[in-house]
Amino acid sequence: MKMKSLSLAAGAVILASAGVASAAELWIGAAQADITPDRPISLSGQFYNRISTNVMSRCMANVLALESRDNGTPVDCAILISLDVVSLRDTQEEFKRYIANRLPGFDTNKLFLAATHTHTGPTLAQTNFNNYGNAMQPREYVPFMFERMGDAVAKAWESRKPGAVAWGLGHAVVGANRRVAYANGTSVMYGKTNVPEFRGLEGWEDHAVDILYFFDAGRKLVATTIAVPCPSQTVEHLCEVSADYWHPVREELCKKHGADLVVLGFCAPAGDQVPRLMLRNAAEERMQRLRKLNRLQELARRIVDTFEETWEVAQVDIRADVPFAHRVERFEVPGRKLTDKEYAEAKKGYEEYSKKDDKIAEVYGRKNWFKRTLDRYEAQQKAVPKGTIEMHVLRIGDVAIATNPFELFVDYAMRIQGRSPAGQTVLIQLASPVGTNGYLPSERAVAGGGYSAVPQSSQIGPEGGQMLVEHTLAAIRRLFGK
C-alpha cells in the first residue's frame, strides 16, 4: 500500500509530502456555499438537543483553492474549507469521497475542512442525539451540505487564476480564558469568579488575529482567511440557526471590500477560550449598551477593526510569487489513559444517568459520554490507547499554517509559536479530523480537572499534546528548511 511505504520511522504517514518550498506563481480560486437548510434542524453544541425555530444568520461554507505553478506547471495545491458547524467527525473523509469524482486530477488529500465551532449550526452526526422529531435528520442534511459545498469547491478549484497574497498580524480582544481556578487547586469551566476562593483564570489568553489576503491578477481582494483564537459560540444556547460572530464579520467585510469577497473564518487554538465575558462584565456590558451592539456584534466590530488596520499596513507587501508547499501527515499519538479513580468516577456518572429517562436528549448524551469513557478503560486493559491525527501544514511565503483536529488548549499553541521558524505561524484547530477528537487539555488543566479537562472530554492528554507540538514543529521546519 502506498501509504505504508511512506511511513516514517517516527510513525508518521506522509499523505502528501513537500520539502522546502521555492517561489512559484500562485493561482487562487474562492467560492462560498450557503449550507443553511430550508427546514428545521437539530443544532449541535450542547448536551441537549435544540431544534431550530428560525434562521438568525445563514451558515456557510467558505472555500479557498490554491495552486502553485512553476513555469506553468502545477507544483502543489490546497483546498481549505471553513464551515459554520460545531465540529467535524467523519465528515471530512466522507466529503473527500464525495468530491473525488467532481475534481478529477485533484489529490483529495490536499483538501481539509475546519469548523468555526458555532454552537448554532446543523448537527452532522445522526448518533449525536436520539430523537430529531420532525426536524431534518442529520443523515438527510449531510448530503444536502455536501452538494452545496461540492458546488463551491468545484467552483473555487475550476476558477483558479493567477493571483497574489499578503498577510499580517492584528490584535482583537475576543476570547477570554474560561477555566476558573480555585484555592484548593481545582478548576471549573465557567466557574464562579465572584467567590473568595477564586484565584485567577487558569491559563493564558491569545488575542492575536492572523489574516491572509488573497487577490486576483488585478489586485482585487477576492478572499481572506482570518484565524481568531476564539470559538464562535456567543449565542451558543439559542434555538436559531446562526453563524455567530462570523456572520457580521462577513457582512461588514463584504460591505467594505465587495459582495463577492470570500471570508474563511478559522478558529485558532482555543480549547480553553470563550467569547463570553469572564471578568469586568459590568464595564464591558455598559460599553456594548453605549455602542448599541450585542456581544456578537461587538466581537465582530473588533475583528473587522483589526482586519482593516492590518490591511492598511499589509497592502504594501503583496506578493505574486511566493514559496508554497502543502504537507499532509497522519500520525498516531498516545491516547489518554484513564486512572482507576477516573474510571470509578465515570462509572458513577454512567450509573446515575442510566437511572434516568434517556429519551431526554441530555440524559442520552451524558450517558453516552460516560459510557464511551468506560469503554476506553476496558479497551486500555488490552491495548495502549492511541489517537490518529491528520495534520496539514502549509507554507505560503513566510507564513506557516498548521492544523489540528482538537479543541486545543492555548498552552500547546504557545509552544508551537515559541519555537516556529516561520515569519508568522497560523494555527487552526477543529480541522482535518479523521475521527472523534475533543478537547486536548494542558498539564495544568488536567491537574485542575473540570469539564474540558476530565477524561470524558478528552481522548488525548498532555503526552499526546506534546507529541502534536513536536510533529507540527518538525513539519514546519521541513517546509522552511530549518
Q: Name the site residues for another protein (rule: CB under 8 A).
A: 168-169, 171, 173, 177, 193-196, 198-201, 203-205, 207-208, 210, 279-280, 282-284, 286-287, 290-291, 302, 305, 309-310, 313-314, 316-317, 398, 410-411, 414-415, 417-419, 422-425, 442-444, 470
The least distance separating another protein from the CB of residue 200, rounded to whole angstroms, comes to: 4
Check: CB of residue 404 under 8 Å from CB of residue 389.
yes
Distance CA 168, CA 80 (A): 19
Give Cα separations from 403 to 6, 77, 308, 343, 459 (angstroms). Answer: 20, 16, 25, 31, 18
Sign of CA dihedral 456, 457, 462, 464: positive
Q: What is the 3-state secondary structure (H, E, C) of 346-370?
A: HHHHHHHHHCCCCCCHHHHHHHHHH
* C-alpha triplet 28, 408, 171: angle, nearest 5°: 60
CB of 283 to another protein, least distance (A): 4
Shortest distance, position 119 Cβ to another protein, whole Å: 24
Beta carbon nearer to another protein, 105 or 196 = 196
Which 8-state DSSP code applies to residue 110?
Answer: G
Quote the crossing angle between the two packed helices 295-314 and 281-291, to the nearest 10°.
80
Residue 317 neighbours by CB under 8 Å, 6+ apart: 166
Q: Which is nearer to another protein, 66 or 201 (CB)?
A: 201
Q: Closest CB to another protein among 84 and 210?
A: 210
Query: Considering beta carbons, is residue 100 or 195 the nearer one to another protein?
Result: 195
Closer Cβ to another protein, 96 or 419, answer by number: 419
By beta-carbon proximity to another protein, the closer residue of 353 and 409 is 409
| CB of 215 vs another protein, minimal distance in Å | 17
Minimal distance, residue 21 CB to another protein, in Å:
18
Nearest distance from C-beta of residue 299 to another protein, angstroms: 11
Nearer to another protein, 119 or 302 (CB): 302
CB of 287 to another protein, least distance (A): 5
Distance between CA atoms of residues 148 and 18, nearest Å: 31
> Is the distance from CB of 114 to CB of 408 less than 8 angstroms?
no
Nearer to another protein, 151 or 443 (CB): 443
Does an H or E element contain 376, and which? helix 361-380
Q: Are strands 164-171 and 208-215 parallel, antiparallel or unpaired?
A: antiparallel
Distance of CA 451 to the CA centre of its chain: 19
| Min CB(275)–another protein separation in Å | 14
Segment (H or E) for 31:
strand 23-34
